[in-house]
Amino acid sequence: MTKSPRSASPRSASPRLTSPQWDPERYLAFADERGRPFAELVQRVPGDPAMIVDLGCGPGQLTHILRARWPSAQIIGVDSSPDMIGKALAGNTDPRVAYELADVSTWTPTLPGADLIISNAMFQWVPDQLAVIKRLADVTDTLAFQVPNNFDSPSHALMREVAGRSPYAEHLDGFAFRTGVGAETYLDMLAGLGREVDAWETTYQHILPGEDAVFDWVSGTGARPVLQALPDDLRPRFEAEYKAALRVAYPRKAWGTVLPFARVFVVAQRPAAV
């Protein structure tokens, strides 16, 4: 039987591959590490967009990076999580920033359109992400995004391995674990659509504090769907087994626990008209 992860997505129809219920505070525990790729992506975006849409904006903690780079732009943050949008709205003091609750699978920019659509760590949660990216590339001059590509790393492999054990497997039948998309796939697709593409991959070496540092990290993002799909009474046991496996794979050192984390970056531009 397929268990339905509890999703906050307003229009999510699929129980198989969903964005989980988000906890903004937990997510923000590693705000610096999670925000750095966005700052590095923004540095590679050319031009002076008047209207920027940040898809999957989360709790809005990264909007200031957009504002610092483009002081007079109108910025709209879009996210499907009411908790994330609630946090973003509560913290917003910029009159030229708006936040909108919507699912990117069906979202399209409102007039006058978006000169720049940017996204940090969202498309990996979107079912049929390549089709969505293709559609969005058509409605903006510049599409820039970053996605993790760490789904073969021990943190994910061990999650799948523990989830395959009894009694968890019985509750996760049909559960879809996510897979990554490499930079070349995005590049080929967007270049094939006639876009000028700048794509690259970076592996960060995050140094995390605490005894169960990697679990603390993944329980804020990548492990949430499986944790939320398990019954309440089994979750603590699953967490204990998963933590034990992570402690072996990512040993704690005097300077902290090192988590290598691969991320793909893409900036795709419509060529200037001649």
Ligand X SMILES: C[S@@+](CC[C@H](N)C(=O)[O-])C[C@H]1O[C@@H](n2cnc3c(N)ncnc32)[C@H](O)[C@@H]1O
Residue 97, Ramachandran bin (φ over 0: left; ψ between -120 and 50: alpha; else beta):
beta
CA atoms within 13 A on the CB side of 161: 15
Is there a cis peptide before residue 167, judged by omega within 30 degrees of 0?
A: yes
**What six digits make up the tokens of 154?**
């021990």
- Map the footprint of ligand X across residues 94-133, applying CB under 6 A: 103-105, 120-122, 125-126
CB atoms within 10 A of CB 178: 15
- For position 58 contacting ligand X by CB under 6 A, the verdict is yes
C-beta of 103: minimal distance to ligand X in Å?
Answer: 4
C-beta of 194: minimal distance to ligand X in Å?
Answer: 26
- For position 151 contacting ligand X by CB under 6 A, the verdict is no
- For position 45 contacting ligand X by CB under 6 A, the verdict is no
Q: What's the rounded Cα separation, in Å, for the pair 96 and 76? A: 8
- Map the footprint of ligand X across residues 186-225, applying CB under 6 A: 221
- For position 175 contacting ligand X by CB under 6 A, the verdict is no
**What six digits make up the tokens of 239?**
């967490």
- For position 56 contacting ligand X by CB under 6 A, the verdict is yes
Which of 41, 51, 62, 162 contacts ligand X by CB under 6 A? 62
**Cβ distance 147 to 118 under 8 Å?**
no
- For position 81 contacting ligand X by CB under 6 A, the verdict is yes
C-beta of 255: minimal distance to ligand X in Å?
Answer: 25
Which of 76, 84, 114, 158 contacts ligand X by CB under 6 A? 84
Which of 57, 147, 159, 246 contacts ligand X by CB under 6 A? 57
C-beta of 84: minimal distance to ligand X in Å?
Answer: 4
- For position 149 contacting ligand X by CB under 6 A, the verdict is no
- For position 22 contacting ligand X by CB under 6 A, the verdict is yes
C-beta of 89: minimal distance to ligand X in Å?
Answer: 13
Which residue's CB is nearer to ligand X, number 12 or number 185? 12
Q: Report which residue type is found at 196.
A: E
**Cβ distance 47 to 62 under 8 Å?**
no
C-beta of 205: minimal distance to ligand X in Å?
Answer: 19
Distances (CA, A) of 109 to 20, 54, 194, 246: 24, 11, 21, 41
Largest CA distance in the chain: 63
C-beta of 221: minimal distance to ligand X in Å?
Answer: 5
- Provide the 8-state DSSP code for 150: -
Which residue's CB is nearer to ligand X, number 178 or number 252? 178
Give me the torsion for CA of 28, 29, 31, 32, rounded to 10°: 170
**What six digits make up the tokens of 42?**
């923004």
- Map the footprint of ligand X across residues 218-237, applying CB under 6 A: 221
- For position 19 contacting ligand X by CB under 6 A, the verdict is yes
- Report the sign of the C-alpha dihedral through residues 211, 216, 54, 261, in that order: positive
* Site of interaction with ligand X (CB under 6 A): 19, 22, 34, 38, 56-58, 62, 79-81, 84, 103-105, 120-122, 125-126, 221
